[in-house]
Amino acid sequence: MALPIPISCSKRVNEALSTTGIENSVASTILAPVKTEKDILENSMLEDDPNANCAVTQEEKERPRWGPQHKGAQELANLYSAGKRTQEYICVWICISLMVTNFLFILYHMKLENLSTILLAALAGIITADFASGFVHWGADTWGSVDLPIIGKNFLRPFREHHIDPTSITRHDFIETNGDNFMIPIPFLSWMLYEFITLPEEDVQLKFNRNCYVFLLSLFVAMTNQIHKWSHTYFGLPTWVMWLQECHIILPRKHHRIHHVAPHETYFCMTTGWLNWPLEKLHFWSTLENIIELISGCKPRADDMKWSKKT
Ligand SMILES: [Zn+2]
Ligand SMILES: [Zn+2]
C-alpha cells in the first residue's frame, strides 16, 4: 500500500512545523505571541499559497479542511439568495447617499478652531467601530446557528462560510462584501441628516462633535468588511491599501491570520485590530463565553464546529 505522498512544501512551512514554539518562561507570559507561527501553519488555511503546495499529506489534499472544495463551504455558498442580494444592493446605495450628504453638511458647518476636539471625536469613533466589529463578529461566530429563522441564512451563514473558505471573500464583489455592513449605519445617518436639515445653526454647533464621532463610527463600521477583504487579499492590492495595512491604520494581513487559527476563538476585531491584543490579554472574550455558557448551557462555537466537519 502506498504511503501518503508528501507534497512539496515550502521551506517556511517545514521550518515552522519543526520548531516547538516559545518555551522560555519569561517570554511565554505577557510577551508571547497569541498564536505561534506553528499554530498558524497547522491550524489555518495558507492563503498566500493558491496552488495548495503546502498540503502535507495526501489525505489533506483529498479531503481539504479548508478552501472552495470543502463540502460545508460549498453548501453555505449555495444559500446566498437573490432576495438577500437585493437587500444588500439597496443598503449600499442608501448608505453611500447618506454618507455623502452628511459629509457635505459637516464640511459646511465645520469651524477650524475646534479641529483638535473634532479629531479626538473622530478617533473615538474609529476605536468604537473596532470594538463593535469585534463584538458583532464574536457574537456571530460563537453563538446561534445557520438553521435559525431569518438571521441564520441571511446573517450567520457568511461567518460560517468564511472560516472554512477564508479566501471566498476575495471572490465576492463590492455588494456581497459590503451589503450588511452598509446597512448598520443607515438609521444613525438618517437621524443626523434630519437634524442637519431641521435644527438651527446654534443647535447644530452644540451637536457637532457628537456628529463627527457618529460619522467616523459609521464610516468605519461600513468599511469594516472591505478592510477585512483586503486583509485576505495576497495578490494585486493597491499600494495605498498595503501602506495603510503596514502602518496598522487598517487591519493588517498578518494580524488577521491569528483569528483564522482553528477554533477561531480570539482576535475578532476587524476594523483596525487595535483592540485585539488588549482584549486577549484581559481574557475578555473567554470570560464572556464562560458567563454565557454558565447561564444558558450553550456551547460556544458549536455550530461553527459542525460546519467545519462536513465532508
Ligand atoms: Zn470569524
Ligand atoms: Zn477573515
Which numbered ligand comes closest to the C-alpha of 163?
Answer: 1
Q: Is the pTM of this model over 0.85?
A: no
39/156 same-domain check? no
Tell me the CA–centroid distance for residue 228 and ligand 2, in Å: 6
Residue 207's pLDDT is 93
Residue 94's pLDDT is 97
Cα–Cα distances in Å, from 125 out to 20, 122, 207, 224, 260?
41, 5, 15, 13, 26
67 within some domain:
no
157/288 same-domain check? yes
Tell me the CA–centroid distance for residue 72 and ligand 2, in Å: 17
192 within some domain:
yes
91/132 same-domain check? yes
Residues in CB range of 144: below 8 A, 6 or more apart: 151, 152, 156, 303
223/162 same-domain check? yes
Total structural domains within the chain = 2
Nearest to 163 by CA among 264, 293, 251, 43: 264
- Helix/strand/coil for 212: helix
Domain end, chosen from 36, 62, 88, is at: 62
Residue 34's pLDDT is 81
In which residue are the cell numbers 468605519 written?
220
Which domain covers residue 193, as residue numbers? 72-308
44/86 same-domain check? no
Q: Quick check: 47 and 234 in contact, CB under 8 A?
A: yes
Tell me the CA–centroid distance for residue 265 and ligand 1, in Å: 8
Report residues of the chain scoring pLDDT below 70: 1-31, 46-64, 66, 311
In which residue are the cell numbers 519543526 written?
18
Domain end, chosen from 35, 62, 89, is at: 62
Considering only CA atoms, give the Rg of the chain.
Answer: 22
76 within some domain:
yes
Which numbered ligand comes closest to the C-alpha of 263?
Answer: 1
Residue 66's pLDDT is 67
Residue 114's pLDDT is 84
87/26 same-domain check? no
Which numbered ligand comes closest to the C-alpha of 229?
Answer: 2
Tell me the CA–centroid distance for residue 162 and ligand 2, in Å: 7
Tell me the CA–centroid distance for residue 243 and ligand 1, in Å: 24
Tell me the CA–centroid distance for residue 80 and ligand 1, in Å: 18
